[in-house]
Structure 1
Amino acid sequence: MDWCVLSLLLLLMGKHGLCQQEEVCSKSVINSCSDCIKSGPFCSWCKQLNFTKQGEQEAVRCDTVAQLQKGGCTANEIISPQNHMVIDKEEHLSASSNDQDPVQMSPQQISLKLRPGRSTTFTVSFKRAEGYPVDLYYLMDLSYSMKDDLANVKGLGEALFAALNKITKKAQIGFGAFVDKTVLPYTNTNEEKLKKPCDENEQFCQAAFGYRHVLSMTPSQDVFNDKVNKVLISGNLDSPEGSLDAMMQAAICGDIIGWRNSSTRLLVLATDAGFHMAGDGKLAGILEPNDEMCHMNNGLYTKSSDMDYPSVGQLAMQLEKNNIQPIFAVTKNMKDVYTELSKMIPKSEVGVLSSDSKNVVGLIEDAYNKLSSKVTLTHDVLPDNVKVTYKPNCANPIQEGNNKGICDKVPVGQEISFNVTVTADSCMEEKSFTISPLGIKDKLTVTISTNCECQCNDPINPSHPHCNYNGSVTCGICSCTEGYVGQFCNCSIGKKDEQTLRASCKKDTGTECEGRGDCVCGICYCHKTEKGKSYYGPFCECDDEHCEKFDNKQCAGNGECKCGRCKCYDGFDGSACQCQTSDQSCRTINNTVCYGRGTCKCNFCECKEGYQRPFCEKCLGCSDPCSTKLTCIECLGFGSGPLKEKCSAACNISHQIVDKFSISGNECYQKDSEGCWIKFKLEQLVGEDNYFAEILEEKVCPEPPNVTAIIGGSIAAVAVIGILLLMLIKLLIHMKDLKEFKKFQNEQKKSKWAEADNPLFKNATTKTVNPMFTGE
Structure 2
Amino acid sequence: MHTTVYLLGLAIISSVPALYHCQQLAQNATADICAEAMTCGNCITRDPSCAWCGDDIFSGVRCDYVMSLQIRSCSNITFPSGSLNITQAQNLADADTSPTGQAVQVTPQEARITLKVGEPQVIRLQVRLAKDYPLDLYYLMDLSQSLKPDIQNVKGLAEGLERELKNLTTDLQLGFGSFVDKTTLPFTLFDVTCLNDGCCLSCDPPFSFRNQLPLTNKIGIFKESVGNVSVSTSLDTPEGGLDALMQVAACEDQIGWRDRARRIVVYATDAGFHMAGDGKLAGIVQPNDGQCRLDPVTNVYMKSTEQDFPSVGQINAMLREKNIVPVLAVTQNTHYDVYAELKQLIEGSQLGPLASNSLNVVRLVTNAYKQITSEVNVGDTSPDNIDISYTSYCDAEGPVPGSSKCIDLLLQQVVEFDVEILAQDCSPNGGQQTFTIRPFGFDESLTVIADVICSCDCESKGIKDRSLCSSANGTFTCGQCECDEGRYGTECECDSDSGSSPEDMSSCIRQNSTNVCQLRGQCICGQCVCSNPEYFGQYCECDYSCEKFQGLPCGGQQRGECYCDTRTLERECRCKPDYYGSACECISSTKDCETINGLLCNGWGNCTCEGKCQCETDSPFRGSKCDECPTCVGQCSSFQDCVLCQVFDKGPFTGEQCDMCKARITLVDDVKKLSMVNDTDFVLCEYRDDDNCTILYTYQLQDNGSYTVLVQSEKVCVSPKDGGRRTQVPWIWIIIGIIAGILLLGIFIIALIRLWIFIQERREYAKFEQERKGAGWNKSDNPLFKPSTTTVMNPMHGKALE
When normalised by structure 1's length, the TM-score is 0.55
Amino acid at match of 1:250: V
Q: Tell me the CA shift for residue 398 of structure 1.
A: 14
Query: Given the superposition, is the C-alpha separation of residues 507 and 33 from structure 1 closer, same or farther in structure 2, using an over 3 Å criterion?
Result: farther
What one-letter code is carried by the residue in structure 2 that aligns with 1:206?
A: D
Secondary structure, aligned partner of 2:308? coil
* Residue 645 (structure 2) aligns with: none
**What is the match of residue 204 of structure 2?**
206
Per the TM alignment, residue 86 of structure 1 is displaced from its structure 2 partner at its CA by: 1.1
Secondary structure at the aligned position of 1:268 is classed as strand
SS of 1:187's equivalent in the other structure is: coil
| C-alpha distance 137-400 of structure 1, shift in aligned 2 (>3 A) | farther
Matched residue, 1:292: 290
TM-fit CA distance, 1:28:
3.1
Where 2:303 maps in the other structure, the secondary structure is coil
Match of 2:776 in 1: none
In the superposition, relative to structure 1, how do residues 62 and 356 fare at CA in structure 2: closer, same or farther (>3 Å)? same
Alignment correspondent of 1:448 = 450
Which residue among 47, 62, 66 is the counterpart of 1:40?
47
Q: Which residue of structure 2 aligns with residue 421 of structure 1?
A: 420
Question: CA contact under 8 A between 2:393 and 2:399: conserved in structure 1?
Answer: no
C-alpha spacing 1:35/1:309, structure 2 compared with 1 (3 Å):
closer
CA distance in 2, matches of 1:306, 1:486: 62
Q: Does the CA contact (< 8 Å) of 1:130 and 1:412 recur in 2?
A: yes
Task: Tell me the CA shift for residue 274 of structure 1.
Answer: 1.5
Matches within 5 A, 1:590-739: none
| Partner-residue secondary structure (3-state), 1:154 | helix
Contact conserved, 1:90 with 1:109, CA < 8 A, in 2? yes
Does the C-alpha gap of structure 1 residues 364 and 92 become closer, same or farther in structure 2, counting only changes over 3 Å?
Answer: same
Q: 1:28 aligns with which of 35, 41, 58?
A: 35
CA deviations 1:739-776 (Å, max 9, x no partner) are: xxxxxxxxxxxxxxxxxxxxxxxxxxxxxxxxxxxxxx
Match of 2:94 in 1: 95
Match of 2:265 in 1: 267
- Most deviating of 337-346 and 371-380: 371-380
Could you say which residue in structure 2 is the equivalent of 1:720? Answer: none
Q: Please tell me whether residue 111 in structure 1 is matched to residue 118 in structure 2.
A: no
For the 8 Å contact 1:198–1:235, the answer to whether it is kept is no
Q: Once the 2 structures are TM-superposed, how far is the Cα of residue 93 of structure 1 from its aligned partner?
A: 1.6
Provide the rounded CA distance (Å) in 2 between the counterparts of 1:115 and 1:207: 60
Deviation at 1:273, TM superposition (A): 1.6
**What are the residue-to-residue correspondences of 1:272-421 with 2, within 5 Å?**
272-297=270-295, 298-333=298-333, 334-382=335-383, 384-395=384-395, 405-421=404-420
User: Gaps spanning 5+ residues in structure 2: where?
Assistant: 1-6, 13-22, 509-515, 543-802
* Cα pair distance change 1:22/1:416, threshold 3 Å: farther
Structure 1 478/305 Cα, relative in aligned 2: closer, same or farther at 3 Å?
closer
Across the aligned residues of Structure 1 and Structure 2, the Cα RMSD in angstroms comes to 4.7
Once the two structures are superposed, the pairs formed by residues 73-88 of structure 1 within 5 Å of their partners are 73=73, 78-88=77-87
Which residue does the alignment assign to 1:438? 440
Aligned length: 494
* Alpha-carbon distance in structure 1 between the residues aligned to 2:192 and 2:463: 91
- Contact 1:97–1:132 at 8 Å: present in 2 too? no
Q: Does the 8 Å CA contact 2:266/2:329 hold for their aligned counterparts?
A: yes
Does structure 2 conserve the Cα–Cα contact (< 8 Å) formed by 1:335 and 1:350?
no
Residues 450-484 of structure 1, C-alpha deviation per residue, up to 9 Å, x if partnerless?
33555689x99999x999xx99998776999xxxx
Query: Which residue identity is paired with 1:82?
Result: S
Q: CA deviation at 1:117?
A: 1.7
Instruction: Compute the displacement of 1:270 (Å).
Output: 1.1
Aligned residues of 2:385 and 2:423 also touching (Cα < 8 A):
yes
**Cα gap change, 1:376/1:172 in structure 2, threshold over 3 Å: closer, same or farther?**
same
Query: Helix, strand or coil for the counterpart of 1:216?
Result: strand
Q: Distance in 2 between matches of 1:245 and 1:472?
A: 58
Contact preservation (8 Å) 1:197, 1:236 = no
Secondary structure in 1 matching 2:318: helix
SS at match of 2:166: helix
Partner letter of residue 445 of structure 2? K
2: CA distance, partners of 1:260 / 1:236: 33
Distance in 2 (CA, whole Å) between partners of 1:295 and 1:461 is 56
Please state how far the C-alpha of 1:36 moved relative to its aligned partner.
Answer: 3.9
Secondary structure of the equivalent of 2:149?
helix
The residue type paired with residue 44 of structure 1 is A
TM alignment of 1:28-177, pairs within 5 A: 28-29=35-36, 33-34=40-41, 36-45=43-52, 52=58, 57-59=59-61, 61-69=62-70, 71=71, 73=73, 78-96=77-95, 99=98, 100-177=101-178
Contact kept? 1:49, 1:466, Cα under 8 Å: no
User: What is the rounded CA distance, in whole Å, between the counterparts of 2:56 and 2:138 in structure 1?
Assistant: 72
Match of 1:524 in 2: 526
Q: Deviations over 1:624-671 (max 9, x none)?
A: xxxxxxxxxxxxxxxxxxxxxxxxxxxxxxxxxxxxxxxxxxxxxxxx
Query: Do 2:107 and 2:125's aligned partners in 1 also have CA atoms closer than 8 Å?
Result: yes
**Equivalent position amino acid for 2:346 in 1:** I
What is the CA–CA distance in structure 2 between the aligned matches of 1:125 and 1:508, rounded to whole Å?
69
- In structure 1, what residue type is equivalent to 2:44? I
Cα offset for 1:135? 0.5
Deviations 1:479-515 (A, max 9, x none): 99xxxx997x9x9xxxxxx6679947468999x9899
Cα displacement string for residues 83-140 of structure 1 (whole angstroms, at most 9, x for unaligned residues)? 2111111121223467433221111221112222211212111111111111100011
- Cα distance, 1:226–1:529 mapped onto 2, change above 3 Å: closer
**Using the alignment, how far apart are the partners of 1:320 and 1:534 within structure 2?**
60
Deviation of the 1:278 alpha carbon = 2.3
Deviations 1:199-237 (A, max 9, x none): 45xx85433333222111110111111211222233333
Contact 2:190 2:206 in 1 (8 A): no
User: SS of the residue aligned with 1:156?
Assistant: helix
Amino acid at match of 1:302: M
Q: Tell me the SS of whatever aligns to 2:304.
A: coil
The percent of aligned pairs where both chains have the same amino acid is: 37
For the residues of structure 1 that align with 2:228 and 2:502, how far apart are their CA atoms?
92
Relative to 1, partners in 2 of residues 1:193 and 1:314: Cα closer, same or farther, differing over 3 Å?
A: farther
Which AA in structure 2 matches 1:412?
Answer: L
Contact 1:266 1:325 in 2 (8 A): yes
Aligned equivalents of 2:193, 2:140: Cα separation in 1? 27
Structure 1: runs of 5 or more not aligned: 7-17, 492-497, 544-776
Whole-angstrom CA distance in 2 between matches of 1:247 and 1:198: 28
Counterpart amino acid of 1:436? R
The 2-side partners of 1:415 and 1:206 are apart by 50
Deviations 1:183-212, CA, capped at 9 Å, x for gaps = 333334323358x98545xx8543333322
Q: Distance in 1 between matches of 2:235 and 2:397?
A: 47
Look up the match of 1:181: 182
Paired letter, 1:111: R
Aligned with 1:419: secondary structure? strand
Separation of aligned partners in 2, 1:192 and 1:399: 66
Residue type at the aligned position of 2:409: V
Query: Contact 1:29–1:35 at 8 Å: present in 2 too?
Result: no
Q: Which amino acid aligns with 1:438?
A: F
1:376 alignment partner AA:
N
CA distance, structure 2, for counterparts of residue 477 and residue 199 of structure 1: 83
Q: Cα 1:395–1:525, aligned 2, differ >3 Å: closer, same or farther?
A: same
Distance 1:93 1:112 in 2: 22
**1:548-627, aligned counterparts within 5 Å?**
none
Structure 1 CA distance for aligned equivalents of residues 320 and 245 of structure 2? 12
Aligned to 2:744: none
Task: Report the 3-state secondary structure (helix = DSSP H, G, I; strand = E; otherwise coil) of the residue aligned with 2:34.
Answer: coil
Letter in 2 for 1:525: Q
TM superposition shift of 1:517:
5.8
